[in-house]
Structures are given as structure tokens and as C-alpha cells.
Amino acid sequence: MNASITPERLAAFDEASIAELARRLEEDDYPSAFDGLADWHLMRALAIHQPELARPYVHLVDQEPFDED
């Protein structure tokens, strides 16, 4: 799951594969936190480079501002 994020890898995504990525992120059932983080970074890269595909799932990469106090 920790493959590099390359332009070729991003270009290979289609509606079905991004939906699968989103499903994994929503279920949040990863063997390690690093696997979930890798998927999050992948979704974030897709939101930047293929926004038309990622638009329905942008809520998975949006970060809410928070107060550390």
C-alpha cells in the first residue's frame, strides 16, 4: 500500500478505483496508522491532480481548523 505517488499512478485512477480508495478511508480499518496515512496522502494528491474524480470525496481530505488550547 506504500507505493510512491507518481504522475503515472495518479493518471491510472478512474471512478471505480477512487471509490475503492474512498471506501478504505471511510472504513478506516488499516493494519497500521501508516497505511491509512498513505491512502490519505494519495487521496490528497488526487484532489490536487484529478479534482474532477476526487470532488465527491473531498470531505476525506478536508481538515477542520481546531484550537490547540
pLDDT in tens, 9-60: 999 999 999 999 999 999 999 999 999 999 999 999 999 999 999 999 999 9
In a domain, 29, yes or no: yes
Instruction: Say if residue 66's pLDDT is above 90.
Output: no
pLDDT in tens, 39-50: 999 999 999 999
pLDDT at res. 68: 53
In a domain, 16, yes or no: yes
Q: Which residue has the cell 496515512?
A: 37
Q: Are 18 and 57 in contact (CB under 8 A)?
A: yes
In a domain, 2, yes or no: no
| Structural domain range at position 43 | 7-60
In a domain, 53, yes or no: yes
pTM: 0.84
